Amino acid sequence: MGPVPAIPPTTLRTDRLLLRAFTSDDEDAVLAACEDAEIQRWTTVPSPYRRAHARAFVRELVPSWWAEGSAAVFAVERRGELAACVGLHRRRPDPAVAEIGFWCAPGHRGRGVVTEAVAEVAAWGFDQLGLARLEWYAEVGNLASRRVADKLGFAPEGVARGLIAHRGVRVDVWCAALLAGELVRPGPPSD
């Protein structure tokens, strides 16, 4: 299989969300979000999370992933604020398979923001990137993440024991997948 082409930074919109590439202007908001205990608990962001991590994320990592075609990571804005992050990470060697990951800033939880944003990114991935399969993984117990996957139609594929190392400890993860044509769009949000 040949090299994966770059993914041009893309902007997506829903009725209430703007999904766009991160910029250096997002550094403070990323820092604040990634210092949150729940994001620290359930994601692989560095802990403790420092300004240097936020700076590298928005200025180096995300732009390089778009440029090399390995990932499309979106800043999700709601009411002009950074509300969430949703990323599609392609699996090598098959660029038609990607993993989706996400986090939500504390002030935006419980409003369907992540479900709406993940649905938009998943649809874009299937339609524009030609994805055939989208995979979701979450540490067993991460019920908020699981609710998002369930609402969007991800089919559970089981528990992978000790699949990832989280803060130096091997943990079990839930696994689910969505194939092209299986995405369930959520109803309109309440706010």
pTM of the model: 0.94
d(CA 63, CA 69): 10
- pLDDT digits 0-9 by tens, 74-93: 999 999 999 999 999 997 78
- Under-50 pLDDT residues of the chain: 1
- pLDDT for res 187: 74
- pLDDT for res 186: 80
- pLDDT for res 91: 76
**Residues in CB range of 41: below 8 A, 6 or more apart:** none
The answer to whether 21 and 74 are in contact (CB under 8 A) is yes
Pick the CATH number of 12-179 from 3.40.50.920, 3.30.470.20, 3.90.550.10, 3.40.630.30: 3.40.630.30
What string of H, E and C letters represents the secondary structure of 12-39?
A: EECCCEEEEECCHHHHHHHHHHHCCHHH
- pLDDT for res 29: 97
Indicate the Cα dihedral angle 116, 117, 118, 120, nearest 10°: 90
